[in-house]
Chains A and B, each alone.
Chain A
Amino acid sequence: AQSVAQPEDQVNVAEGNPLTVKCTYSVSGNPYLFWYVQYPNRGLQFLLKYITGDNLVKGSYGFEAEFNKSQTSFHLKKPSALVSDSALYFCAVRDIQAGTALIFGKGTTLSVSS
């Protein structure tokens, strides 16, 4: 069975500092990996995905994520955080062999202070 772990409930960073939101996954086959963001009272928005190719994936709003197969991780990063990045971030995985529905992590609240 596939699963996703986001070990941190909350990440706090100061504006202008780099940020990392951690994600590890478990699938039986090859994974499709995603990051979504949810702002208060709004739906989920797609940030970026990894399917194949370059392990470093660049996405929306300056975010990027690095796929590490040996560590089964897909951490979300941004070189310089903005206050407007404060939101709830979800990592998600889809097992290519098992099906096409996404399984989500529990979410990590990112709080960027000015």
Chain B
Amino acid sequence: SAVISQKPSRDICQRGTSLTIQCQVDSQVTMMFWYRQQPGQSLTLIATANQGSEATYESGFVIDKFPISRPNLTFSTLTVSNMSPEDSSIYLCSVASRDFNEKLFFGSGTQLSVL
């Protein structure tokens, strides 16, 4: 299994600012994903973080708003830019690897509140 450390666990931010969320895995993984879980709703895939290249974004999510980095096989960051109250959500890092027999592991999440 994978141990995922996600930081910060929670934050309260002002409108118009940006927050970078870090995801560190204790082993090399093939795939890393970022999800958003808005209050009372399901998980929505934001993007797939690709090692050494630009992330692949899902419909409705753009790089200018959610820039993602993945410099190596164990680390990724998600930035929520120019935040508004609508960005208040839980952001989850997730990893998958053939070594993990196809299931995804999730970090504990970052609970973001934008005032």
- Chain B residue numbers with a CB within 8 Å of A107 are 41-42
Contact assessment for B92 and A101 in the assembled complex, using a CB-CB cutoff below 8 Å: no
Contact assessment for B108 and A103 in the assembled complex, using a CB-CB cutoff below 8 Å: no
State the Cβ distance, B101 to closest chain A Cβ, in Å. 8
Interface size bracket, A side: 20 to 34
Tell me the number of A-to-B contacts counted with CB atoms below 8 Å. Answer: 44
- Chain A residue numbers with a CB within 8 Å of B108 are 42-43
Contact assessment for A90 and B42 in the assembled complex, using a CB-CB cutoff below 8 Å: yes
- A43–B107 Cα distance when bound, in Å, is 6
CB within 8 A of B43: which of A51, A94, A100, A104?
Answer: A104
- A105–B107 Cα distance when bound, in Å, is 19
- A42–B111 Cα distance when bound, in Å, is 11
Q: A32-B102, A49-B102, A49-B103 are in contact. Are A43 and B92 (CB under 8 A)?
A: yes
- Chain A residue numbers with a CB within 8 Å of B41 are 106-107
Offer 28 A-B interface pairs, CB within 8 angstroms, sorted by A.
A32-B102, A34-B104, A36-B106, A42-B108, A43-B92, A43-B106, A43-B107, A43-B108, A43-B109, A44-B43, A44-B106, A46-B104, A46-B105, A49-B102, A51-B102, A90-B43, A94-B102, A99-B48, A100-B96, A101-B31, A101-B45, A102-B45, A102-B94, A103-B45, A104-B44, A105-B42, A106-B41, A106-B42
